[in-house]
Amino acid sequence: MSPKVTVLLVIFSLHCHITLASDPDPVQDFCIPNTRSGTVRTTQFDILPCKNSIKVTPEDFVFSGIKSPGNFSDTGLSVVPVNPTNFPGLNTLGMSLVRADLKVGAINAPHFHPRATEIAYVVQGRVYSGFVDSANRVFAKVIEKGEVMVFPRGLVHFQMNVGKLPATIFGSFNSQNPGNHKIASAIFGSGINDELLEKAFGMNAKQIGMMRRRFIPKSRVRS
Amino acid sequence: MSPKVTVLLVIFSLHCHITLASDPDPVQDFCIPNTRSGTVRTTQFDILPCKNSIKVTPEDFVFSGIKSPGNFSDTGLSVVPVNPTNFPGLNTLGMSLVRADLKVGAINAPHFHPRATEIAYVVQGRVYSGFVDSANRVFAKVIEKGEVMVFPRGLVHFQMNVGKLPATIFGSFNSQNPGNHKIASAIFGSGINDELLEKAFGMNAKQIGMMRRRFIPKSRVRS
Amino acid sequence: MSPKVTVLLVIFSLHCHITLASDPDPVQDFCIPNTRSGTVRTTQFDILPCKNSIKVTPEDFVFSGIKSPGNFSDTGLSVVPVNPTNFPGLNTLGMSLVRADLKVGAINAPHFHPRATEIAYVVQGRVYSGFVDSANRVFAKVIEKGEVMVFPRGLVHFQMNVGKLPATIFGSFNSQNPGNHKIASAIFGSGINDELLEKAFGMNAKQIGMMRRRFIPKSRVRS
Amino acid sequence: MSPKVTVLLVIFSLHCHITLASDPDPVQDFCIPNTRSGTVRTTQFDILPCKNSIKVTPEDFVFSGIKSPGNFSDTGLSVVPVNPTNFPGLNTLGMSLVRADLKVGAINAPHFHPRATEIAYVVQGRVYSGFVDSANRVFAKVIEKGEVMVFPRGLVHFQMNVGKLPATIFGSFNSQNPGNHKIASAIFGSGINDELLEKAFGMNAKQIGMMRRRFIPKSRVRS
Amino acid sequence: MSPKVTVLLVIFSLHCHITLASDPDPVQDFCIPNTRSGTVRTTQFDILPCKNSIKVTPEDFVFSGIKSPGNFSDTGLSVVPVNPTNFPGLNTLGMSLVRADLKVGAINAPHFHPRATEIAYVVQGRVYSGFVDSANRVFAKVIEKGEVMVFPRGLVHFQMNVGKLPATIFGSFNSQNPGNHKIASAIFGSGINDELLEKAFGMNAKQIGMMRRRFIPKSRVRS
Amino acid sequence: MSPKVTVLLVIFSLHCHITLASDPDPVQDFCIPNTRSGTVRTTQFDILPCKNSIKVTPEDFVFSGIKSPGNFSDTGLSVVPVNPTNFPGLNTLGMSLVRADLKVGAINAPHFHPRATEIAYVVQGRVYSGFVDSANRVFAKVIEKGEVMVFPRGLVHFQMNVGKLPATIFGSFNSQNPGNHKIASAIFGSGINDELLEKAFGMNAKQIGMMRRRFIPKSRVRS
pLDDT digits (tens, 9 = 90+) for C135-153: 899 999 999 999 999 999 9
Please report which confidence band the pLDDT of residue C91 belongs to, taking 50, 70 and 90 as the band edges: confident
Instruction: Give yes or no for a contact between F128 and F63, defined as CB atoms under 8 angstroms apart.
Output: no
In chain A, the percentage of residues whose pLDDT exceeds 90 is 63
Nearest to B130 by CA among B151, B108, B161, B153: B151
One-letter amino acid for residue C127 of the chain: V
Across the interface, of D20, D34, D47, the residue whose CB is closest to B14 is D34
Strand partners, E171: E98, E120
Looking at per-residue confidence, does B179 or A68 come out higher? A68
How far apart CA E32 and CA B73 sit, in angstroms, is 55
Nearest to B114 by CA among B171, B176, B178: B178
Find the mean pLDDT for residues F91-115. 95
- CA dist A120 → A143, A151, D217 (Å): 10, 8, 60
Looking at per-residue confidence, does E56 or B5 come out higher? E56
- Provide, as residue numbers in chain A, all residues whose Cβ is less than 8 Å from the Cβ of C16: 16, 49
How far apart CA B109 and CA B187 sit, in angstroms, is 13
Please report which confidence band the pLDDT of residue F207 belongs to, taking 50, 70 and 90 as the band edges: very high
Whether C4 shows a pLDDT value over 90: the answer reads no
Which segments of chain E have a pLDDT < 50? 1-22, 24, 36-47, 221-223
- Statement: B77-180 belongs to CATH 3.40.50.720: no
Q: Which residue of B has its CA nearest to A59?
A: B141
- Provide, as residue numbers in chain C, all residues whose Cβ is less than 8 Å from the Cβ of D151: 61
Q: F186-218 burial string, b = 16+ CB within 10 Å, else e?
A: bbbbbbbbeebbbbbbebeeebbeebbeebbee
Rg (CA), chain A: 21
Across the interface, of F14, F22, F177, the residue whose CB is closest to B22 is F22
Please report which confidence band the pLDDT of residue B115 belongs to, taking 50, 70 and 90 as the band edges: confident
Whether B155 shows a pLDDT value over 90: the answer reads yes
Task: Give the least confident one: A91-95, A171-175, B96-100, B104-108.
Answer: A91-95
Burial class of residue A205 (count of CB atoms within 10 Å of its CB; 0-12, 13-18, 19+): exposed
Instruction: Give yes or no for a contact between A128 and F196, defined as CB atoms under 8 angstroms apart.
Output: yes
Please report which confidence band the pLDDT of residue F184 belongs to, taking 50, 70 and 90 as the band edges: very high
Those chains having 3 or more beta-carbon pairs within 8 angstroms of chain A are: B, C, E, F
| Interchain pair B177, D9: CB under 8 A | no
Distance from CA of A1 to the nearest CA of F (A): 36
Burial class of residue A134 (count of CB atoms within 10 Å of its CB; 0-12, 13-18, 19+): buried
Whether D66 shows a pLDDT value over 90: the answer reads yes
Conformation bin of residue C177: beta by default, left when phi > 0, alpha when psi is -120 to 50? beta
Whether C122 shows a pLDDT value over 60: the answer reads yes
Please report which confidence band the pLDDT of residue F222 belongs to, taking 50, 70 and 90 as the band edges: very low
| Interchain pair A22, C21: CB under 8 A | yes
Instruction: Give yes or no for a contact between F189 and A136, defined as CB atoms under 8 angstroms apart.
Output: yes
| Interchain pair B94, A174: CB under 8 A | yes
- CA dist F114 → A83, D15, E90, E117, F181 (Å): 22, 30, 17, 20, 8
Domain E1-177 fold is Jelly Rolls (2.60.120)
Rg (CA), chain F: 21
Flag whether A17 is marked binding.
Answer: no
- CA dist C49 → C24, C97, D133 (Å): 17, 22, 19
Q: Which residue of B has its CA nearest to C220?
A: B137
How far apart CA E120 and CA E98 sit, in angstroms, is 9
Residue C219, pLDDT score: 62
Work out how many CB contacts closer than 8 A connect B with F: 64
Domain boundaries in chain D? 184-222
Looking at per-residue confidence, does E107 or C41 come out higher? E107
| Interchain pair A27, C22: CB under 8 A | yes
Burial class of residue F54 (count of CB atoms within 10 Å of its CB; 0-12, 13-18, 19+): exposed
Residue A147, pLDDT score: 98
| Interchain pair C5, A5: CB under 8 A | yes
Task: Give the least confident one: A27-41, C51-65, E48-62.
Answer: A27-41
How far apart CA F35 and CA D7 sit, in angstroms, is 17
Residues of D in CB contact (< 8 Å) with F are 4-5, 8, 11-12, 14-24, 44-45, 115, 175-177, 179
Please give the DSSP secondary-structure letter assigned to residue C195: H
| Interchain pair A56, B139: CB under 8 A | yes
Residue C23, pLDDT score: 52
The DSSP-derived string for chain F is: --HHHHHHHHHHHHHT-PBP------SSS---B---TTTS---TTB--PBPPGGG--GGGGEE-TTSS--PPPTTSEEEEEESTTT-GGGTTSS-EEEEEEE-TT-EEEEEE-TT--EEEEEEESEEEEEEE-TTS-EEEEEEETT-EEEE-TT--EEEEE-SSS-EEEEEEESSS----EEHHHHHHTTT--HHHHHHHHT--HHHHHHHHHHHS-HHHHH-
Residue C138, pLDDT score: 94
Q: Which residue of D has its CA nearest to F32?
A: D19
Give the Cβ contact number of residue A7 at 10 Å.
Answer: 14
Average pLDDT, whole number, for chain A? 81
Flag whether D118 is marked binding.
Answer: yes
Whether F85 shows a pLDDT value over 90: the answer reads no
Containing H/E element for E78?
Answer: strand E77-82
Whether A18 shows a pLDDT value over 60: the answer reads no
How far apart CA B48 and CA B40 sit, in angstroms, is 9
Looking at per-residue confidence, does D108 or C51 come out higher? D108
Please report the ipTM that was assigned to this predicted complex.
0.83
Grouping H, G, I as helix, E, B as strand and the rest as coil, residue D199 is helix
Average pLDDT, whole number, for chain C? 81
| Interchain pair B49, F14: CB under 8 A | yes
**Cα–chain-centroid distance for residue F112?**
10
pLDDT in tens, E58-111: 999 999 999 999 999 999 999 999 998 899 899 889 999 999 999 999 999 999
Instruction: Give yes or no for a contact between E168 and E116, defined as CB atoms under 8 angstroms apart.
Output: no
pLDDT in tens, F59-68: 999 999 999 9
**Which of C27, C28, C57 would best serve as a mutation to test chain E binding (most E beta carbons within 10 A)?**
C27
Residue B48, pLDDT score: 53
Whether F216 shows a pLDDT value over 70: the answer reads yes
Across the interface, of E8, E28, E49, the residue whose CB is closest to A15 is E49
Residue F23, pLDDT score: 52
**Which of E51, E95, E155 would best serve as a mutation to test chain F binding (most F beta carbons within 10 A)?**
E95
- Dihedral sign of CA atoms D138, D144, D148, D154 in order: positive
Contacts of C151 (CB under 8 A, 6+ apart): C113, C117, C118, C120, C131, C157, D61
Distance from CA of F43 to the nearest CA of D (A): 15
Distance from CA of C139 to the nearest CA of D (A): 5
How far apart CA F124 and CA F134 sit, in angstroms, is 30
Nearest to F61 by CA among E138, B210, A36, A197: E138
F187: Cα within 13 Å, side-chain hemisphere: 26
Instruction: Give yes or no for a contact between D105 and D167, defined as CB atoms under 8 angstroms apart.
Output: no
Whole-model pTM?
A: 0.84
In chain C, the percentage of residues whose pLDDT exceeds 70 is 77
**Which of C187, C188, C195, C213 would best serve as a mutation to test chain B binding (most B beta carbons within 10 A)?**
C187
Instruction: Give yes or no for a contact between D69 and D140, defined as CB atoms under 8 angstroms apart.
Output: no
Whether D144 shows a pLDDT value over 60: the answer reads yes
Flag whether B144 is marked binding.
Answer: no
The residue ranges of DSSP E strands in chain A, in sequence order, are 62-63, 77-82, 96-102, 107-112, 118-124, 126-132, 138-144, 148-151, 157-161, 167-173, 181-182
How far apart CA F178 and CA E92 sit, in angstroms, is 17
First to last CA, chain D: 37
Instruction: Give yes or no for a contact between D106 and D77, defined as CB atoms under 8 angstroms apart.
Output: yes
Q: Which residue of B has its CA nearest to F15?
A: B49
pLDDT in tens, B32-88: 776 543 233 333 334 456 777 788 999 999 999 999 999 999 999 999 999 988 998
Please report which confidence band the pLDDT of residue D33 belongs to, taking 50, 70 and 90 as the band edges: confident
Whether A117 shows a pLDDT value over 70: the answer reads yes
How far apart CA E112 and CA D154 sit, in angstroms, is 9
Instruction: Give yes or no for a contact between E115 and F174, defined as CB atoms under 8 angstroms apart.
Output: no
